[in-house]
Amino acid sequence: MLTLERAPLLFGRDPTPGLLAYALADGGRALTLYRREGDTVTSELVPFLPFLLLADADLVRGAPGLVSIEPLAGPGELRRLARFGAWGDALAARDRCREASGQPANAPSAPYRFFPDPVHQYLLLTGRTSFGGLGFEDLRRLALDIEVLTTEGHEFPSAARPGDRIVAIALADSTGFRHVVRGDRLDEPGLLGECTRLIRERDPDVIEGHNIFRFDLEYLEARARRHGIALAWGRDGSALSGRVSRLQIAERTIGYRRWEVAGRHIVDTWMLAMLHDAGTRDLPGFGLKDLARHFGAAAPERTYLDPSRISREFTEAPERLMAYAADDAVETLGVASVLAPPYFAQAQVVPFDYQSCTLRGAAAKIDALMLREYLRRGQAVPLPRPVAPVGGGYTAVLHQGVARPVLHVDVTSLYPSLMLAGPIAPASDALGVFTELLRHLYQFRVRAKRLARDSGDARERAHLLALQQSFKILTNAFYGYLAFSSGHWNDFDAANRVTAEGRAVLTTLLERLAGLGATPVEADTDGVYFVPPPGHAPAADEALLERIAEGLPPGLQLELDGRYPAMFSYKMKTYALLDERGRLFLKGSAFRSRGLEPFLRQLIEQIVRALLAGRPHEVRRIVDGWLEDFAAHRVAPRVFARTETLQDSLDAYRAKVAAGARPPSAPYELAIASGRAVQPGDQISYYVAGRTAGVAVNEYARLASDWDPARPDENVEHYKAKVREVWERFRAFTEFDGLRPYADEPETRSQLSLF
C-alpha cells in the first residue's frame, strides 16, 4: 500500500489513532477524548493541566491552583511554563497577569501568553493530533438545514418574533440517512425535541450546515430557549453552547457566534466557501445552490423554491417544502465533501481540533506547529516582533488588449523555494524549526501528489490529494507568517528579503522572454503570461520552457501552467482568459466583483468574450441591447439588484455617520428601516428607484424583494447610465484587435480603469 512515513515534526510525536474530538471535563481538571474504532466510538477521561507561558515567574507566584513553574531554555522572552490544576485556575491566573502587566493575553508585547482553547493546549503539550489512521470518509457527517416562517408584514425572519417559527428541520448524513422533521405534524417544541433525539441516535462526529453558525443554530437555540428546551446534542448529554467570535478572511472580518457541541464538530460550508474563494476567486456566489451547481453537487431533480414563498408553500404545498429542505441538506453534504477534506487533513497535522482548523488562519497554524516543537524541546518562546512595512511581489502589465495565443509559466512554489534555497528564516528561530517544517511540508506535498497519481485505490487517492492540498495551503503560508503580527517567530526583514528575491526572479524571466523573441503581457508575483516567439509550435513548449529557465537561481523550477488561445489584458491583475474548450475565465475584482450588479458582470463578460473572439464590432450591439432592455423593463430585478455585505454592526454604522467618518449607505439604511436584526457579514439586496440618473442612491434605494412586476419602478436612466459607463471603458479596445504597449500616462490609465 502506498503511504507517507509519519514524521513526528508534522504529525506530532504521539501517534494515538482514531482521536475524533475532545471535551473539557471534571470541572476543568480533565478532558474526555472520543475515539473511533470502526463503527464504535469510545471515550476516555485523561488528566489535563492547563498552562501559561511567562516572561517572569513572579506574575503567577502564589496563584491559586498553581502546580508547577518549569524553566524553558534558550533566548526567547517567554521562558517559564506555569501549569495549573484546573481550567478555572488557569483563567484566574490569566486575569492576574493581565492586571499586573496592564496588557491582554493576546497583545504581542504582553509578558505572558495564554491560549484560550483547552483542546489546543492539550494537543500542544501531548503531541497528539486528530484522525490518525482515519480517512475523511470514516467521519460520520450529518448535515442540518432549517426552514422558518416569517410573520406576515415582515421582510425577514426573526427568532425573537412570537409569530415566527421553525417549520422544517432537514437531516442527511454520510451513511445515506435522510429525514425531515416536519412542522406540519409537530408543534415547535416537539420538532426541536425530535431533532435532538435524531442527532443523539445518529451520533455524528460532525454537524454540517450552510451558514449554520450565523442563522440555523442561532435560530434553533433562540426558539429552544423560548420553549425552555435544552438542545442536548453533546455526546455527554450537554447542551449546544456558543460564544461571540470573529473570522478574518482576506480583507473581510466576519462576526459570528461560534457554536460548540461536546464530542462533535460543527462545520459551516458558507465559511469554507469564503475561505476557498479568498484563494481562487472562482466562485459564482456563496449561496448553497450556486455552490452545489459549481461543484457538481446539485441533483438534476432537486426541488427549487423562491425563499420568499416559504410561508405560502408550507400552507399550500408542504410536501414540496419538505423536499426542498431535504435537498438543501443533501447538497450541504455534497459541498462539504469538496471543501472540507483539506481541513480534515490539517487536523491530522496541526494541534487544533477539526472545527478549529476550519476557523483559524494558516499563519496561526504555522505558529502552532512551531510552538509545539519548541515546547517539546523545552525551549523558550520569543515574543512577536513589532509590525514593519513589507514590500510586495513583482507585478506589471506590459501590454493591453487581446493576445493570441498565450502561455503562462510560473516558478513552482516561488516563495517557499526561495526560503529553502536561501535559506531565509526568522532570526528568532534559534532551533531552525521554521526551515525544517517548511522542507518537510514541501517534500511531503510532492510525494503525496506522486503517490496520488500512482495509486489505484480511490479512497487512498482521495486521502493523498487532501493531504497534498492541505500541505500546499500551509507551505504557501510560510511567507505570510513572516509578516504575521501575532506570530511568535515573525520577521519582517526576512519577509522583505523573500519579496526582493522574488522580484529579481520575475525581472530575470521577463528579460529572458524578451531575449527569446516572446512578448510578455503581464507578470504577477510568481508567473508571466506571454505570447510565444513567432513560429513557435505547441510541440516545442517543453523546449521553450527549458530555454526560459536558463539562468534561474538553483532550486527554482519553471512550470508551464497553461496554454490559452486568447487573453484580454485590461489593467493590473485584471484580465480574461479563453481556454481551448471555449471557457472564459475573468480575473480581477473590476471584472467580477460581487459588489457589481449582476447585469454589469454579464455585460462585461459579453463584451470581453466578443473581444477575445475577434469580433470587436459586436460590442456596440451588445451595449445597445442592454439599453433597449432597460428602457422596455425587460431586465429582471435579480439582474439589476445590487447585493452588498455589511462590514459594520448597525450601531457602529450609526456612530460613524454621526461622527462624519462615513456617508450614509443604502444597505445600512435599508437594514435599519426593515427592523431586521443584522450583523457584520449579512447581505442586503436592493435596487435604485426614481427617474433620473443622478439620484442619491441611499435615498432612492429599495429592497429587491419590494419590486413589483405590475408597477416596475427601477430607475431606468440610472441603469442605462451604468451601461454607457461600461461602454466608455471598453470603447478604446473596440478600435483595434491585438496588443499595444501599456500606457504610462496617468490620463490613459484613469480612462481605462473600471469603476
Encode pLDDT of 553-574 as tens digits: 888 989 998 899 999 999 888 9
Write the pLDDT tens digit of every residue in 690-702: 999 989 998 999 9
Top pLDDT among 680 and 616 is at 616
Could you give the percent of the chain with pLDDT greater than 90?
72
How many helices (DSSP H) and strands (DSSP E) are in the chain? 27, 27
> pLDDT tens digits, residue range 164-211?
899 999 999 999 999 999 999 999 999 999 999 999 999 999 999 999
Q: Which three cell numbers stand for residue 503?
A: 522580484
In whole angstroms, what is the distance from residue 322 CA to residue 300 CA? 17
pLDDT above 70 covers a percentage of the chain that reads 96
pLDDT band for position 54 (50/70/90)? very high
Please compute the mean of the pLDDT values over residues 652-662 and round it to a whole number: 92
* pLDDT average, residue stretch 28-38: 96
**Cα–Cα distance for residue pair 589/754, rounded to 1 Å:** 9
b/e sequence 465-488, b meaning 16+ C-beta within 10 Å: bbbbbbbbbbbbbbbbbbbbeebb
For residue 389, whether the previous peptide bond is cis, meaning omega lies within 30 degrees of 0, is: no
CA 224 – CA 243 distance, rounded (Å): 17
Run of H or E residues at 714: none
pLDDT above 80 (res 677): no
Superfamily the domain 574-751 falls into: B family DNA polymerase, thumb domain (1.10.132.60)
Q: Given a cut of 50, is residue 142 above it in pLDDT?
A: yes
| Residue 672: predicted pLDDT | 87
Fold held by 395-400+408-564: Palm domain of DNA polymerase (3.90.1600)
Domain ranges of the chain: 17-128, 136-345, 395-400+408-564, 574-751
pLDDT at 5: 62
Do the domains 136-345 and 395-400+408-564 sit in the same CATH topology, yes or no?
Answer: no
Per-residue pLDDT tens over the stretch 219-266 = 999 999 999 999 999 999 999 999 988 888 877 778 889 999 999 999
pLDDT of 154 > 80? The answer is no
In sequence order, what are the beta bridge partners of 714?
Answer: 689
What the block records as the C-alpha cell of 189 is 417544541
Q: Which grid coordinates are listed for 517?
A: 523573441
Assign residue 633 a region (left: φ > 0; alpha: ψ between -120 and 50; beta: otherwise).
left
- Is residue 552 a contact partner of residue 558, using CB atoms and an 8 Å limit? yes
Q: What band does 23 get if pLDDT is binned at 50, 70 and 90?
A: very high
Q: What pLDDT, on a 0 to 100 scale, did the predictor assign at position 746?
A: 33
User: Cα(444)–Cα(458) distance, rounded to whole angstroms?
Assistant: 20
CA dihedral 495, 384, 91, 62 (to 10 degrees): 150
| Class of the domain covering 136-345 | alpha beta
Asked which of 344-348, 496-500, 591-595 is least confident by mean pLDDT, the reply is: 591-595
The closest of 124, 4, 92 to 443, measured between CA atoms, is: 4
The average confidence (pLDDT) of the chain is 91
CATH of domain 17-128: 3.30.342.10
